[in-house]
Amino acid sequence: MCGIVAVTGYKKALPLLLNGLEKLEYRGYDSAGIAVIEPETKNIICNKAEGKLRNLINNLNDKNISGTVGIGHTRWATHGKPEVKNAHPHTDSSGNIAVVQNGIIENFQDLKNKLEIEGVIFNSDTDTEVIPHLIQRELNTLSKLKLENNGSTLLVAVRNVISDLEGSYALAVLWSGAPTSLVVARRQAPLIIGLGEGEFMCASDTPAIANFTNIILPLEDEEIALLTPLGIEIYDSNNERQYRNPVSLKVSEQIIDKMNFKHFMLKEIYDQPGTAKNWLENYLIKNSENGQYQINYSFDTKFFESIERIDIIACGTSKHAAMVGSFLLEQFSGIPTNVFYASEFRYSPPPLLPNTLTIGVTQSGETADTIAAIDMEIKRRSSSVDKTFKPNLIAITNRKESSIGRQVPNIIDICAGIEVGVAATKTFFAQLLSFYGLAIKFAQIKGSQSPDEIGKLITELIKLPPLLEDLLEKHNQSSEKLAHDFFNIKDVIFLGRGINYPIALEGALKLKEISYIHAAGYPAGEMKHGPIALLDKKVPVISIASPGEVFDKVISNAQEAKARDSYLIGIAPECNGTEIFDYLMKIPSSNEWVSPLLNIVPLQLLSYHIAAHRGLDVDQPRNLAKSVTVE
């Protein structure tokens, strides 16, 4: 999390920095800050504000900042509270060096202790502040070697300093001694360089620079670069100069527009019929000879034949998508599948088993725990002599240019377009679709379902876009009304079973993260083993009851809640049994396999309207960030 942006060139830096920070605010909004080199004096002017970017913009209103070289930061607090003193940029004691950083410096305490012994006084509680102090110390050493004050010297100093840093980071450094230069570096945190007209820039993510250029150079892991108004020099960790061709940004990577919606989240919920259409167009291909559909994943799928089991690694909402995926892969495709929290997997992985496919699921492609867990899995499998243990990997992501995109050879791009709302909606939906594709592919390869059964599932998927449009039209207003009655509740229970149990978990997560109302999801059959003690008339129960294998069971579980006076909301088609619900959010009848793709929509809408009714910042809920690049 945290977003960084930096620029050097012949144009004023501030507009680009502020525009970039606005586009990066989804990565964190505890504080924002900028540092710009003053053209006449070459001094660094630093300005920071607690809270949202608008506070920084207010601070800067009456200031004339004309410098052309600068850095900016939007923070998601890790070390130190969200206060001005902990806001970036951080400077050294002389104020001649300024640094913005995204990541965590794990050995900062050791480094800080050593610097304090040398007499350095720290002004913040952050891990980042060690960096400018270390660079200052390094520059002092280099000046004794009679190195000139220029960008190359700053590059050497930063390179020496980062070799002592442990953890992950993306950083940008300004030095008044080289007032037109910027040094940027990354390890396991994203950073892309942009080539503009008369300026070079870099940022944590493409939208931050998309208004200024559509030509980019992604920086690879462990690389460091010197940016000046005249050009860019990139070096790898062995100090070898790197040359690579710039690439163009796709239009979809540039557009961030709320259209006429009040919030990005609502727009993104409404994007879902389009997400479904896109997926069908991109990934479903009809074989003209036999009329059968194939899933068009771009990688060679030969290795699927030898796969005997699947491990899926993910966090948060992506894990809920993985749980639906696991249900499909086991129950439809017949392959034993386990889902792991990435943060657990990396420290307590299951014993190695042969012929295993590992799937990493992350919309951002940057989630630190997921990246580290996959990395660990690649290493331990690659070091095995037995070939059946070798790593087979797939990543499901919305950002194929991200860290996971570089880490894993086989990518399923969920093609959801940029999601700005911090609460994942359309990316969850697109992750689900990707798992349907995998389940179909495995079922075809393994012969676990007849072509007829596979055809039926595909037909249901093809029907999705108009059904989703219909759902949105029906439930936007009704969930707004429901939100009016429920915006003040304290606890909500979500129940689901089978393939819809993860949807209960996701419904609960959506509600709590944007409305700050306590919510918990349970497999409906588990309620009587404890959670039922929570129920009374103040605790509504939202029950997902899709006709199929467990419909009657879910209705009985809902009955048990009703007997404890809970207000019952049903997510179900209108049919026998659903009359027990006090309020029914009607879902079109469908095959049980595809029901999660429909059931999730009213739950997203309900969470959205409750949070909006409470007057909360739906797109940027407190304490959260879109891309969790710290452990």
Which of 626, 127, 100, 167 is closest to 372 using CA atoms? 167
Nearer to ligand F6R, 137 or 319 (CB): 319
> Residues 211 to 250: which contact ligand F6R by CB under 6 A?
none
Half-sphere exposure of 592 (CA within 13 A, CB side): 18
Nearer to ligand F6R, 49 or 373 (CB): 373
* Shortest distance in whole angstroms from residue 571 CB to ligand F6R: 19
Nearer to ligand F6R, 101 or 318 (CB): 318
Q: Determine which residue in the list 318, 333, 448, 590 makes contact with ligand F6R, applying CB under 6 A.
A: 318
Both tokens of 6, joined, read 């930096």
Which amino acids are annotated catalytic? 2, 626
Q: Determine which residue in the list 102, 278, 317, 595 makes contact with ligand F6R, applying CB under 6 A.
A: 317
- Could you tell me if 392 and 302 are in contact, meaning their C-beta atoms sit under 8 angstroms apart? no
Q: Is 322 in the site for ligand F6R (CB under 6 A)?
A: no
Nearer to ligand F6R, 362 or 557 (CB): 362
* Shortest distance in whole angstroms from residue 4 CB to ligand F6R: 18
Nearer to ligand F6R, 36 or 605 (CB): 605
Q: Determine which residue in the list 204, 363, 434, 566 makes contact with ligand F6R, applying CB under 6 A.
A: 363
* Shortest distance in whole angstroms from residue 159 CB to ligand F6R: 30
Burial of residue 363 (number of CB atoms within 10 Å: 0-12, 13-18, 19+): buried
Residues 400, 50: Cα–Cα separation, whole Å: 33
Cross-strand partners of 216: 194, 247
* Shortest distance in whole angstroms from residue 174 CB to ligand F6R: 30
* Shortest distance in whole angstroms from residue 319 CB to ligand F6R: 7
Which segment (350-358, 360-368, 515-523, 530-538) binds ligand F6R by CB under 6 A? 360-368
Place of tokens 């207003």: 477
* Shortest distance in whole angstroms from residue 237 CB to ligand F6R: 26
Q: Is 316 in the site for ligand F6R (CB under 6 A)?
A: yes
* Shortest distance in whole angstroms from residue 269 CB to ligand F6R: 12
- Could you tell me if 52 and 31 are in contact, meaning their C-beta atoms sit under 8 angstroms apart? no
Which of 218, 215, 244 is closest to 406 using CA atoms? 218
> Residues 370 to 389: which contact ligand F6R by CB under 6 A?
370
Nearer to ligand F6R, 27 or 48 (CB): 27
Which segment (107-115, 155-163, 249-257, 361-369) binds ligand F6R by CB under 6 A? 361-369
Cross-strand partners of 194: 201, 216
Ordered DSSP codes for 258-299: -TT-SSHHHHHHHTHHHHHHHHHHHHEEE-TTT--EEE--SS
Both tokens of 224, joined, read 């460091």
Residues 405, 390: Cα–Cα separation, whole Å: 19
Size of the site for ligand F6R (CB under 6 A): 15
Burial code (b: 16+ CB inside 10 Å, e: under 16) for 75-111 equals bbbbbbebeebbbbbbbbeeebbbbbbbbbbeebeeb
> Residues 504 to 523: which contact ligand F6R by CB under 6 A?
509, 513
Q: Is 315 in the site for ligand F6R (CB under 6 A)?
A: yes
> Residues 395 to 434: which contact ligand F6R by CB under 6 A?
423-424
Both tokens of 117, joined, read 């012994």
Q: Alpha-carbon dihedral of residues 62, 66, 68, 69, nearest 10 degrees? A: -50
* Binding-site ranges for ligand F6R (CB under 6 A): 315-318, 362-364, 367, 370, 423-424, 509, 513, 627-628
